[in-house]
Amino acid sequence: MNPHLDVDLNGLRFPQPVLSASGCLATGHDVPGLVDLHRLGGVVTRSLTFGPSKGWATPRASETPSGLLTAVGYQNPGVLAFLEEDLPSLRKAEVPVVASVAGGSLGEYVNVASSLHLKPGVVALEVCVSYPDDEREGEPFYVRPERLTEVVGAVARLSRVPVFAKLPPLLPGLVETAQACVRAGAFGLTLIDQVPALAVDPHRLRTRTATAVGGLSGPAIKPLALAAVYRVGRALPNVPVMGVGGIATAEDAIEFLLAGAWAVQVGTALLVDPSVHVDIAQGILGYLREKGFASPGELRGRVRVPDAGDGSS
Amino acid sequence: MRRVRAEVLNAKRVGAYHSITIVAPEVAERVRPGQFVSVAMPQGRTFLLRRHFSIHQASRRGGWAGTLEFVFDPRGGRGSSWLAEVKAHQFLDVIGPLGKAFAYPAKLSTCLLVAEGHGSAPMHFLGQELRAHGKRVDMLVGAETQELVFKPIEGKRLAQTIVIATEDGSLGETGSVADLLTQVVEATGAQVIYAAAGRRTLRRISEFCSERQIPSQVAVEEEMACGFGLCFTCTVPVIRKDGSGYDNLRACIDGPVFNPARILWDRWMGEQPGMIATPPEGFPVVKTWPG
């Protein structure tokens, strides 16, 4: 049997299961030639706001044990410049585009999503709910569940393409929030967003990023991400989940598929190895062949739990 | 930019610093002074990110054609300690050349190269290229102590004149390179200034050059996660050419060499946190680099 890499997320198809995660692949027109875009399953864009955003002051990055802490502040050219300058480059590379939608208000999310959802090449939207809410003095939208589902629902109602809600792992009720997103109209979930984290420089008595609390990514957060994918996957077995968090090898990606992901995204690993997605896809194919599976979809949720309880809550 | 698996030709101590020479013809034939390479760390360690190094020497012809040399402080952290243990004939995953190079002035002919610590490393490469373009090269190099002055003897051979400054006075003049700028510029008649140093020093050099209307270019250092434009962490606030505002430009793609008169220093130095508005009189329009 010759396995294939296509994945089908309830009708949304990607040529292979490894996409680039939001914020880890320049903007579009400026993707360096080192990254073979065509061999990505899809590109999730930088989170786009309506107008351009300059982001926060530097330093914006700090290496932490097995991780990367960043505090970029959603620097992006704004949705209109993205459509003019970046989307054409991504379309030329023939890579499916998942546009990440952000905003400081419900209205901004709606405006950004409206500008994107009908554009050729955009196959789905991903709603970033970590963006600071103007109404709540910069508190992220995800802090209040009703605010979170309000923006996800507003984007889902208008969009003609599937909408994914990207959730951080440390919500009090992750599974309940995921269910609420689906009730509000989300087609699927992306798990997980960066984890709020802090790095301190004891010699200079200051934080290592200019905006004190940043977001942690990389292998350090992989177990958190796997738990989130597993719990949501068990509770909502028919809802597509994209797994993201610390994936750097084919084995990592396979772990996510086994835990319940329908596809995966790589972020931090691309910053280290710009062709990591090619190696991961090859590795998945080798694994499928070795184990006698026909497609990545056959791995979904197959992880067995030695103990009888399924650990989900 | 290319990604290559490069063999280490030579790894050695140079005073307090460490130097690695790699065989990378595809990179060496393209690289220009001010550009850098990105080196991957070993897999399976807890430090993930690539490390970035300015080029000290590139050999495009001769017995060892296609080699590159970079210099670092082995006390710089976990990545530097690991690299300091790398031996000849090991292989490194290298991406380069990266970033924008220093520009050479078309008409002006007397160039002063200012550097602190191993910021002198790229200046040697630049000095050689400027001399090959028929320019006069003078140097002003500094460090905290004598041991941290990078290759002073080679500097003397390269430059028409060299002034060395140490904070503790253990070699040359006492003080920082910025303290000696006026004196050196007056003695050499410098028409163009190039600098590679920490931001405080670069800012003082920038203010000096603006005041005297001396064209200058500086190579900046900023926390950089990827080094090839993907992550937007290494940005520097740079005033637009037409003065209509500023943009956070990536030091890895749009730098690391910038015209310092266009850097928004208050913002970059963290003295103006938060979003800043365009001043009522607008940002200054900065004349472009001479020809």
pLDDT value at A5 more than 50: yes
**DSSP assignment of chain A:** ------EEETTEEESSSEEEPTTSS-SSTT--TTS-GGGSSEEEPPPB-SS-B---PSP-EEEETTEEEE-----B--HHHIIIIIHHHHHHTT--EEEEE--SSHHHHHHHHHHHTTSTTEEEEEEE--SEEGGGTTEEGGGSHHHHHHHHHHHHHH-SS-EEEEE-TT-TTHHHHHHHHHHTT-SEEEE-PPEEE--EETTTTEESSSSSSEEEESGGGHHHHHHHHHHHHHH-TTS-EEEESS--SHHHHHHHHHHT-SEEEE-HHHHH-TTHHHHHHHHHHHHHHHHT-SSGGGGTT----SSSS----
Residue A58 and residue B231: Cβ atoms within 8 Å?
no
Query: Given pLDDT bands bounded at 50, 70 and 90, which one contains residue B64?
Result: low
Q: Full-prediction pTM beyond 0.80? A: yes
Whether pLDDT at A7 is above 70: yes
* Nearest residue in chain A measured CA to CA from B250: A26
Spans of all domains in chain B: 2-98, 110-219, 223-285
B95: nearest CA in chain A? A34
Work out the minimum CA distance from B154 to partner chain A, whole angstroms: 34
pLDDT of residue B106: 87
B248 and A CB contact within 8 Å:
yes
How many residue pairs from chains A and B have C-beta atoms closer than 8 A?
104
pLDDT at position B120 over 50: yes
A29 touches chain B (CB under 8 A): no
pLDDT tens track for A194-250: 999 999 999 989 999 988 899 999 999 999 999 999 999 999 999 999 999 999 999
Q: Look at A26 and B273 and tell me if their CB atoms are within 8 Å.
A: no
Find which of B226, B239, B249 to mutate to test the A interface (most A CBs within 10 Å of its CB). B226
Contact check, Cβ <8 Å, A273/B231: no
Q: What is the CATH number of domain B110-219?
A: 3.40.50.80
The pLDDT of residue B288? 58
Kindly list the residues from chain B whose CB atom is less than 8 angstroms away from the CB atom of residue A59: 222-223, 233
**CATH number corresponding to A7-55+73-195+216-299:** 3.20.20.70
List chain A domain ranges. 7-55+73-195+216-299
pLDDT above 90 as % of chain A: 91
State residue B281's pLDDT score: 61
Among A60, A75, A218, select the one facing B48 at the smallest CB separation. A218
Cβ <8 Å between A63 and B270: no
CATH superfamily placement of domain B2-98: Translation factors (2.40.30.10)
